[in-house]
Amino acid sequence: MSKRLNRSSLDKQLGGVCGGVAEYLDLDPSLVRLGAILLLLVGGTGLLAYLVAWLVIPLDTCKSH
C-alpha cells in the first residue's frame, strides 16, 4: 500500500493539515505546527501555504488508526 498525504481527521487543531503532514513525514505533529507558526511569522507565508494545503489535501477517510 502506498503512502498518501491526507489531512488528519483525528490529530487536528484547525484543519488537520499539520497532523496529516506529520503523519506522512513520520514526525511529531507539534514540530510541524511549530514550523507552520514560524512560517506564519515570516511574512505570512505559512498562512497562505496552510490555506492552500487545506483546500488541496483531501481529508483521510479512516476514522480510526
Determine the pLDDT at residue 27. 94
**Single pTM value for the model:** 0.81
Taking every pair of Cα atoms in the chain, the longest distance, rounded to a whole number of angstroms, is 38
| Gap between the Cα atoms of 55 and 65, Å rounded | 23
Q: What span, in angstroms and rounded, lies between the C-alpha atoms of 36 and 44? A: 10
The cell for 57 is 489535501
* DSSP at 1: -
Question: What's residue 22's pLDDT?
Answer: 92
- pLDDT for residue 26: 93
Q: pLDDT tens, 3-49?
A: 888 888 888 788 889 999 999 999 999 999 999 888 888 877 778 88
Query: Within 13 Å and on the Cβ side, how many CA atoms surround 17?
Result: 19
How is the chain split into domains, by residue range?
A: 1-60
pLDDT reported for residue 65: 53
Per-residue pLDDT reduced to its tens digit, 56-65:
999 887 655 5
